[in-house]
């Protein structure tokens, strides 16, 4: 990857960990990473909503250079949306990255491309950075529809977003068939589809935005396969699920180096 695209490793804790367990995980992870690691790689952690304040307090009090992220938000600032979280609430907790359109949100909660686009715009409007997820199902992959699905999601998710805003974003390619299944894309597949994402951005928002946007791979990432997955020139990091709950495993992923 070019030197000006700093790698980004994100831990999505999903619906795991009480606030006390989250504090312990952050502390253990902080012991495993050094200042040199943080200088080389951006490390973001995405706890459940009930853990955010506790994790923010620990990061601030102990001056841990991890970056606080959230897993999801609504696009409205406030309203009658029982159970939802607004971007205003997240911004006040110093959240800096918010995942939008995670495959589980799309598949289990029927989030549409239009919803994802609204979330991306709301996240940016409140001075946070979206990690916009795209990816295909197993049926779509076997039907050779990966390109059409991913291109369509990228185009729809970035509709109405400026080239400058896109350049500052993160887009995560996470094949749905690899989420929590133990199946992982090959390094060639990860690179090929991340390159497709970048080419789509180039077509819709220009070469400068495409050269600057950071693209992650997500889907059964582990310390053993992370270096190969991130060796491709268009793979700028990983969105890590289950492995991010193990501080030693996640630290090994964050310490990867490519040549």
Q: Tell me which of 104, 111, 140, 174 is the catalytic residue.
A: 174
Q: How far apart are CA 53 and CA 111, in angstroms?
A: 26
**pLDDT at residue number 141:** 87
Q: Are 100 and 123 in contact (CB under 8 A)?
A: yes
Q: Which two tokens stand for residue 83?
A: 């159970």
Q: Quick check: is 84 catalytic?
A: no
**pLDDT at residue number 243:** 96
User: So what's the architecture of 8-254 in CATH?
Assistant: Alpha-Beta Barrel (3.20)
Q: How far apart are CA 149 and CA 136, in angstroms?
A: 6
pLDDT in tens for each of the 259 residues of the chain?
555 799 999 999 999 999 999 999 999 999 999 999 999 999 999 999 999 999 999 999 999 999 999 999 999 999 999 999 999 999 999 999 999 999 999 999 999 999 999 999 999 999 999 999 999 988 888 898 999 999 999 999 999 999 999 999 999 999 988 776 777 789 999 999 999 999 999 999 999 999 999 999 998 899 999 999 999 999 999 999 999 999 999 999 999 864 3
**pLDDT at residue number 185:** 83
Q: Which two tokens stand for residue 46?
A: 């995405």
**pLDDT at residue number 68:** 98
**pTM for this one?**
0.95
Q: Tell me which of 102, 140, 205, 249 is the catalytic residue.
A: 102
**pLDDT at residue number 138:** 85
Q: Quick check: is 174 catalytic?
A: yes
**pLDDT at residue number 259:** 35
Q: How far apart are CA 218 and CA 176, in angstroms?
A: 9
């Amino acid at each position: 990857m070019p030197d000006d695209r700093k790698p980004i490793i994100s831990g999505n804790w999903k619906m795991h960990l009480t606030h006390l367990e989250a504090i312990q995980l952050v502390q253990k992870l902080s012991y495993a990473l050094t200042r040199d690691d943080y200088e080389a790689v951006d490390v973001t952690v995405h706890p459940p909503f009930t853990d955010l304040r506790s994790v923010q307090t620990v990061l601030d009090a102990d001056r841990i250079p991890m970056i606080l992220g959230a897993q999801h938000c609504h696009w409205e600032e406030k309203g009658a949306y029982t159970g939802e979280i607004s971007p205003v609430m997240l911004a006040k907790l110093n959240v800096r990255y918010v995942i939008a359109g995670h495959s589980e949100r799309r598949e289990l909660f029927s989030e549409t491309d239009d919803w994802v686009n609204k979330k991306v715009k709301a996240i940016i409007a409140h001075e946070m950075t979206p990690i916009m997820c795209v990816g295909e199902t197993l049926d779509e992959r076997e039907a050779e529809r990966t390109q059409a699905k991913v291109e369509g999601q990228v185009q729809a998710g970035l509709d109405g977003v400026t080239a400058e805003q896109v350049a500052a974003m993160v887009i995560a390619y996470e094949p749905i068939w690899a989420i929590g299944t133990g199946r992982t894309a090959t390094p060639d597949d990860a690179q090929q589809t991340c390159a497709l994402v970048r080419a789509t951005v180039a077509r819709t928002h220009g070469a400068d935005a495409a050269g600057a946007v950071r693209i992650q791979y997500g889907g059964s990432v582990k310390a053993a396969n992370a270096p190969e997955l991130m060796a491709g020139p268009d793979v700028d990091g990983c969105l890590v699920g289950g492995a991010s709950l193990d501080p030693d495993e996640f630290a090994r992923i964050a310490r990867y180096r490519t040549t």
